[in-house]
Chains A and B, each alone.
Chain A
């Protein structure tokens, strides 16, 4: 079985590594991008199963990327977990993100959460 693909969109170096490791531990092949424009470029070329999206990104805000994912038909099946430190920004996105995590994000919990979203997971996600 092919491993599912996950994209980490996060500009802070250490946090991006932790996210990636958590998703790897959940069985995903993981890519890291560290800015909004790079994320868009990547998303135009590939179709991930899961995206962890930070909202505070330079040059292109995370909301714009979320919008792109939700309006691009090719990415209809992609799950999005929004990770942010700013809870009031997140509040408005509940209908568009599959899950919202408030930073700081615990490694183990992200891994377990990502497993539930995985297409290889035994049960259903959400």
Chain B
């Protein structure tokens, strides 16, 4: 009960003083209660008993005096100096006790019992050595009482009292020492705890600072698969904010953004017990992410969870894709002229262009062997590229034509500007606001055309526009006021490694591979390319595509029917 505590506890600075005051308060209040009960008892007796004892008045007086003494002691103890209260109390106690018995009883033996509490109380409420003081005072008092009453003093009183005082002093002193030691120990411990906490806070804030500043997303999972820590970077990668992730079930979070097979991949990866693979890659919403995970072990070796690091792999994935697109298409393109070479060589060998001499036939044999060899190399290249990156898949989706053009303009603006050329864009009114197609690859194609346009134009302008070719097709055109392409060269420019002429290659740079890849991509999209160009006036490259793209099965570029193409032709050689 709070009010008892309030009554007993005295708020002082010195804890020892507080303890002493509290103890005195307890004793005082105890006495108070007893005294009050005593008064009630006297009243009851007074009322009930027909003939109360004579000294009932004196009983009343002494009881009330005691009460007053107790109250004064309490007040002094609470609001003034504690040892004054203590001394007062002990003195009153001694006086009271000395009045309680006859001098004879006191001197002869009861003193031992009745005065001992005073010794103990003094020792506890004042100081340990107060036990001795009280013992001496009591002895003196007994002597005076004895002398007054002409009684024989008890010879054992002095040593016994001193003995009790000694025991009390030792006990109290030990107790106070122990309390003091505990207090010191406590302070020391508090200091240590404070230091450790500060160190921990520092290292935590360092760790937190590290987690906060990492660009990679970090999530720590416990053994049940629940996310316990997530750093701010995850929100950029996984769309969900860090607060949403912590405590949630990761499986649930994945369901929106991740395909089913990828989900299995991720789950297996995160919860695998054996040493994990280096990393997995998967699609999360619009981004490609790569993740690596490692188990978290305590020093004892116990595994308490997994930490997973997520990185935005979209750029790398795109570069990977571009690389394999490039290699696949390039290999495919290389085979076309090779096949023509082998075809003509075959025909020459078969005498289609007239009979051959032995020597000529021999030369044919060498031609065929070498071109066959080269075809084999190209096939290997293609196979390797296919294995590395799977087949080329068109990612058909909805996109806004205006966004497509703006994207390209943003990239090529600077380049045009640096050359003093004007770059204009335009989307015709009758073009639908969304079109279907592989946005990324269309972007690549446009960049390719725009790049060439700027490259081959010295002055004037480059214009990019989208318009409707007919009811079923839309068109993408890049027009420039550049050097143009001579008519006889126009059919060759879509072949790989071909530019208009070698001087152009030297002056304008580039391996000319871009256009052949563009042609392949456009073919895959179900469309075709048209070219209008006049030497000295400029060129316009037009890509025409169907509004509804062809069904996108996976497009395997040219299965190598090795039986057909790698046949080493039998020749009648020497």
| Residues of A that sit less than 8 Å from B by CB | 12-15, 18, 21, 25, 56, 58-59, 61, 85-88, 101-109
Question: Is B350 part of the contact surface with A, judged by Cβ < 8 Å?
Answer: yes
Question: Is B559 part of the contact surface with A, judged by Cβ < 8 Å?
Answer: yes
Interface of A is mostly: mixed
Q: List 20 additional contacts besides A56-B523, A87-B558, A106-B567; criterion CB under 8 Å.
A: A12-B336, A14-B340, A15-B336, A15-B339, A15-B340, A18-B340, A18-B344, A25-B352, A61-B526, A85-B332, A85-B558, A88-B553, A88-B554, A102-B564, A103-B558, A104-B338, A104-B565, A106-B564, A108-B346, A109-B564
Question: Is B556 part of the contact surface with A, judged by Cβ < 8 Å?
Answer: yes
B339, B491, B554: the one contacting A13 at CB < 8 Å is: B491
Question: Is B528 part of the contact surface with A, judged by Cβ < 8 Å?
Answer: yes
Chain B hits for A21, CB < 8 A:
347, 352
Chain B hits for A104, CB < 8 A:
335, 338-339, 342-343, 375, 564-565
Chain A hits for B332, CB < 8 A:
85
23 contacting pairs across A/B (C-beta < 8 A): A12-B336, A14-B337, A14-B344, A15-B336, A15-B339, A21-B352, A85-B558, A87-B558, A87-B559, A88-B554, A88-B556, A101-B564, A102-B559, A102-B564, A103-B558, A104-B335, A104-B338, A105-B343, A106-B343, A107-B346, A107-B350, A108-B350, A109-B564
Binary per-residue interface labels of chain B (517-538) against chain A in the complex, 1 for a CB within 8 Å, 0 otherwise: 0000001001010000000000
A25, A58, A61, A107: the one contacting B343 at CB < 8 Å is: A107
Question: Is B54 part of the contact surface with A, judged by Cβ < 8 Å?
Answer: no
B564, A87: Cβ atoms under 8 Å?
A: no
Chain B hits for A58, CB < 8 A:
528
How far does the alpha carbon of A102 sit from the alpha carbon of B563 in the complex, in Å? 11
Q: Which residue of B lies closest to A85 (CB)?
A: B558
Question: Is B555 part of the contact surface with A, judged by Cβ < 8 Å?
Answer: yes
Chain B hits for A88, CB < 8 A:
553-556
How far does the alpha carbon of A58 sit from the alpha carbon of B558 in the complex, in Å? 19
Q: Which residue of B lies closest to A92 (CB)?
A: B553
Interface residues on B, range: 20 to 34
Question: Is B561 part of the contact surface with A, judged by Cβ < 8 Å?
Answer: yes
Binary per-residue interface labels of chain B (559-574) against chain A in the complex, 1 for a CB within 8 Å, 0 otherwise: 1010011010100000
Chain B hits for A56, CB < 8 A:
523
How far does the alpha carbon of A108 sit from the alpha carbon of B342 in the complex, in Å? 11
B338, B554, B564, B565: most-surrounded residue (chain A CB, <10 A): B564
CB distance from B334 to the nearest CB of A (A): 12
B350, A86: Cβ atoms under 8 Å?
A: no
CB distance from B311 to the nearest CB of A (A): 35
A103, A104, A106: most-surrounded residue (chain B CB, <10 A): A104
Q: Which residue of B lies closest to A87 (CB)?
A: B559
Chain B hits for A87, CB < 8 A:
556, 558-559, 561
Q: Which residue of B lies closest to A58 (CB)?
A: B528
Chain B hits for A13, CB < 8 A:
491
A106, B565: Cβ atoms under 8 Å?
A: yes
How far does the alpha carbon of A7 sit from the alpha carbon of B429 in the complex, in Å? 43
